[in-house]
Structure 1
Amino acid sequence: MKRFLTSLIAVLAITNLEAQQQTPKLVVCITVDQLRGDYIEYFYNTFGDRGFKRLLNEGLVYKNIRFEFSNVDQASAFATLFTGTNPCFHGITGDSIYDFEKDKELPCLYDPAFLGNYTHDNYSPKNLISSTIGDELKIASNGRSDVYSIAPDANSAILSAGHAANGAFWLDNYNGKWATTTYYKNVPWYVDRFNNGNESLESRIESMVWEPSLPLKQYSAFPYLMDDLPFKYSYNPKYKDCYFNFKSSPYINKEITRLTKQFLEFGGFGSRSCPDLLSVTFYAGNYNGTKNKEYTREIQDIYIQLDKDLEQLLDAVDKKVGLVNTLIVLSGTGYYENEVTYSEGLSLGGGDFYPKRCVALLNMYLMAIHGQQNWVKGYHDGQIFFNRKAIEDAKLDLGVIQRQAAEFVLEFSGVQHVTTDRELRSGDWNEGTANFRNGTHHLGRGDLIIELQPGWTIANGDEKGKKNTSVVRNNAVITPLIFMGNGLKPAHIYREVKATEVAPTVTHVLRIRPPNACNQLPLSELLNY
């Protein structure tokens, strides 16, 4: 009898462990671009019970994700979340790169080798030099798993899909169709249907009017609103920026949800012998028409309506696959864009930094030392690039010139710190410059990396006519991370986690290898999952 009870207890323990460690049939990665945890808190009372509140009540919630590099943007954030490593390894350091030979800024994923499908843009994941969660799932399943992504923009779509995905779809800025690249070979019939006829956004967009979804008195999260007037925006495809503006309104999330539900209905997700992966990107940033304002009803309404879209998505997954069979992963991107200009008379002690002027003076300084030559190519995204061929032809030491230039630029008003490419390559960096090392890749890095003091304005023009100005801020953005479904018990974890820990945690639950450049362990709360 004693032996029987011992065996029964062992069987029950193993059965319980297997139930807890069941591999999900489907992973849905929900990434909300520019999501702010503080806004979720501020707007909490306006949410329903089955969107944000459901995720917070039923999920394993981490309060904040930390990105280990400066100047986080859409491309670098998505690449980091889905590869489990920083830009120094995955190679995506920002939304754009600069071709100084052609004097032209290019998208970071630009690839003329592949045509656009429903778009004139040319993209591929070629410049992403690490594998992603989806790539490893494809390898493990020998191609049997389906991997798709749906997003407002090409960067988020392609980087969350990876190299081996079945498809990646985004909304084109010019025609409003669901676009992709011929790099991916599969366009499901229901995507074609959405791009044509009565299903197309073009045929419906003129009937869409964005107005407050709640009475004005309920938009009370910010005590800094300047007027009591409601907002009202409409969209006409005859105007150039129609779809561009549309993509920063709550309607983009509704379109994302609409197409995602079609994938769930007709794509067979969760019905295969191997798990599938569906990456969905929502938008929670400022509306394009209000980026010069810090506090608006528009941003609160974006969150209120996003809450409803999350509810619809969770319900659709539960109905088709079952949340018990699905791992939901929700995260933000660790940055927030605005273009706030301060009222006249408000002085915060900063000033204007003119990159073009800095480059011109630096070039004159180097000419005075090393002779008449264009030693500096230009400035892009906080970095100064040298004419390395001229330096090589003159048989000069690149490291010496970088150091001379760094000392010169450090004397400019507003410059907090300057580090050199040679220092980062040689390992001569410390905790203060670790962000520069993590956030850049040695193959495309500038010769000087410049950090400005907070409050200074980067003026990408000249003194007579400043254009494209941006104010430097170094505020941390609270970015929650939530795992829900597939037998996970609800909990709130108050420690900070790294963005590079997300991918190895997901692959651990899937029982596959982490992406090939990832050297992080899964989050400890899911190690025994």
Structure 2
Amino acid sequence: MIKKIFLIFWCAMGSIMGYSQDADKINTSPKLVVGIVVDQMRYDYLTRFYNRFENDGFKRMIREGYNCKNTHFDYVPTYTGPGHASIFTGTTPQNHGIISNNWYDKFSKESVYCASDSSVKAVGSDSELERMSPHRMKTTTVADQNRLHTQLRGKTIGIAIKDRGAILPAGHSANGAYWFRGKDEGKWITSTYYRNELPNWVKKFNDSDQAESYLKVWGTLHDTKTYVESGPDQNVFEGGYKGKEEVTFPYDLKKLKDQNMGYDIIKASAYGNSLTADFAIAAIDGEQLGADDVTDFLTVSFSSTDYVGHNFGVNSKEIQDTYLRLDADLARFFNALDAKVGKGKYTVFLTADHGAVHVPSYLQSVKIPAGYFDRDVFATKVNNYVKEEFKVEGLIENISNNQLFFDYTKLKKNNIAKKDLQEALAHFILQEDQVDKVFTRDQLEKGEYTRGIASLIQKGYNQKRSGDIVVVMDPATISYSKTGSTHGSGLMYDTHAPLLFFGQGIEKGSTTVETKITDIAPTIAALLGIAFPNGATGDVLPFVLK
């Protein structure tokens, strides 16, 4: 009896202290880690469309894995480049340096793109617009750390319709990153940062004309009338495609192709996600991912959800059909992983790079505060004010991404203190309609905010790359067209993202405890028993791991 009590006590203590019967196994090493990002996926798409999903896509992840229901981006701005970088580096733009998709470089005096790199060339395309690499990202990703940990034996492949969605998650040391060149080409390409020639499996995929097969009619997966989770098919809040007068199903993509930048129309339809899934499945075989006991990484970003959301809005039947079709593509992808890598031998996480706001004109129609902000009018007002107040032209060098950049050469030449210009502008801008808050460089550099929008702005603020004034708009106020949705704010519709884990080493369950996007990379690193990304600021989520 005493022995039995002792054994029960010892087992309980072992559970509490983290001991297991397999005492010398201190990490879980799946054959493959798959990081999935769904571009512009609001958390409530999971709940809104849940009853319409089949069993083997989103529902499988929830059923077999762990659902973090209260996951948020802990910085501003909520854009695609920063989102993908933050998910995989485990830190925010304050550290990884990807402060937007495009930003003003105060040293070169030009706008730069988060993945552009003039030192490389495209591979698979002759376009000068496809010269891309991760060189602007300052810190490592969890995939980089896996490469270092395995002495480069573990592979990393990044895949997305968008170049930045493929490049930033895969990190600096990836074996390859592939994105889709639309226009008149319709091919998957890469750059000389990774290799000088497309591998045979990519050439074979491109030669198969799989992209061509999606130039077909996009109709709803189910009867349109049953899509009661979304607004009416015909309304005034959607953009649509050039060449089709009514913004209603069906859409003949082949017929509309020439008026909508060729193969780019596939990107902007539900079929872009299907093409991405096709290519990701081909990559598993082509790169022999998960074929041995050394952990590989596959990062997959489904970009078309973002294109459709921007065009049609978050309440459209088009966005609903896109998610129902994505659900089917995920099921197909997971089945391929089961067959090629082995069920229970891989680990998957799925999240988003940002959410999206309801179309403000729609919100206004139902009496919810919302609006549109005219950047050009704002810039004119600001420049006129500065000229009148300080009697000097050109003190504001650039206005972009809701930030103002000062010309420090002119400040010095005219003996104007940076502090004086900051304070005067902050006071002036705050008087503007639709402006909710204003922060100065001095506030963000000298203070420390722990909660609220100020904290989010500070974590998205990079001392070297960000501007001198940051402007915050009113809720649901955007600089965008009157149709379609966008994103970028620190409000819940943009920050609340899904976060699902399933597969080897993952518990079953759910939580409403607040978690952060930056927690994902440290959690996966802990699962693998590898070093965290070198700039990581997120926390491990212990309840997710077995």
Q: Taking structure 2 as the reference length, what is the TM-score of the superposition? A: 0.85
How much identity, in percent, do the aligned residues show? 27
What is the 5 A alignment of 1:329-478? 329-336=349-356, 341-342=361-362, 353-427=373-447, 429=449, 431-432=451-452, 433-458=454-479, 474-477=491-494, 478=496
What is the distance in 1 between the residues matched to 2:412 and 2:192? 40
- What do the CA deviations read for 1:278-311 (whole angstroms, capped 9, x no partner)? 1111246365498255532211111111111111
| Letter of the 1:367 counterpart | K
Residue 409 of structure 2 aligns to a residue in which SS?
A: helix
What is the distance in 2 between the residues matched to 1:395 and 1:499? 44
Q: 1:104 to 1:470 in 2, by over 3 A?
A: farther
- What do the CA deviations read for 1:392-436 (whole angstroms, capped 9, x no partner)? 222332122111211121122221111111221222656341121
1:512 lines up with 2:512 in the alignment: no
Q: 1:261 to 1:470 in 2, by over 3 A?
A: closer
Is the Cα–Cα contact under 8 Å of residues 78 and 488 in structure 2 kept in the other structure? no
What is the distance in 2 between the residues matched to 1:256 and 1:469? 23
| Letter of the 1:219 counterpart | Y
- What do the CA deviations read for 1:352-376 (whole angstroms, capped 9, x no partner)? 5433333333333333343333211
- What do the CA deviations read for 1:210-234 (whole angstroms, capped 9, x no partner)? 1112123332223655489642231
1:108 lines up with 2:108 in the alignment: no
What is the distance in 2 between the residues matched to 1:35 and 1:29? 15
Residue 268 of structure 1 aligns to a residue in which SS?
A: coil
- What do the CA deviations read for 1:112-147 (whole angstroms, capped 9, x no partner)? 111112242221111100100111111111111100
Deviation at 1:92, TM superposition (A): 0.6
Q: Taking structure 1 as the reference length, what is the TM-score of the superposition? A: 0.88
1:37 lines up with 2:58 in the alignment: no
- What do the CA deviations read for 1:30-53 (whole angstroms, capped 9, x no partner)? 111122332222222222211111
Give the stretch that moved more between structures: 140-149 or 111-120. 111-120
1:253 lines up with 2:253 in the alignment: no
1:136 lines up with 2:145 in the alignment: yes
Residue 139 of structure 2 aligns to a residue in which SS?
A: coil
Is the Cα–Cα contact under 8 Å of residues 409 and 415 in structure 1 kept in the other structure? yes
Is the Cα–Cα contact under 8 Å of residues 193 and 200 in structure 1 kept in the other structure? no
Q: 1:93 to 1:496 in 2, by over 3 A?
A: same
Matched residue, 1:24 = 30
Q: Which one of the candidate residues 80, 96, 104 is aligned to 2:102? A: 96
Matched residue, 2:88 = 82
Which segments of 5 or more consecutive residues in structure 1 lack a partner in the other structure?
461-465
Matched residue, 2:218 = 210
Matched residue, 2:172 = 163
Is the Cα–Cα contact under 8 Å of residues 356 and 485 in structure 2 kept in the other structure? no
Is the Cα–Cα contact under 8 Å of residues 122 and 190 in structure 2 kept in the other structure? yes
1:182 lines up with 2:192 in the alignment: yes
- What do the CA deviations read for 1:215-263 (whole angstroms, capped 9, x no partner)? 2333222365548964223136544523333113221111111111112
Give the stretch that moved more between structures: 229-238 or 432-441. 229-238
Deviation at 1:57, TM superposition (A): 0.5
What is the distance in 1 between the residues matched to 2:316 and 2:483? 24
1:318 lines up with 2:315 in the alignment: no
Q: 1:343 to 1:515 in 2, by over 3 A?
A: closer
Give the stretch that moved more between structures: 379-388 or 480-489. 480-489
- What do the CA deviations read for 1:445-470 (whole angstroms, capped 9, x no partner)? 1111001112545379xxxxx99997
Is the Cα–Cα contact under 8 Å of residues 49 and 229 in structure 2 kept in the other structure? yes
What is the distance in 2 between the residues matched to 1:345 and 1:223? 13
What is the distance in 1 between the residues matched to 2:23 and 2:424? 62
| Letter of the 1:516 counterpart | N
Is the Cα–Cα contact under 8 Å of residues 70 and 511 in structure 2 kept in the other structure? no
Give the stretch that moved more between structures: 360-369 or 107-116. 360-369
1:499 lines up with 2:507 in the alignment: no
What is the distance in 2 between the residues matched to 1:103 and 1:38? 41
What is the distance in 1 between the residues matched to 2:483 and 2:397? 21
Is the Cα–Cα contact under 8 Å of residues 152 and 281 in structure 1 kept in the other structure? yes
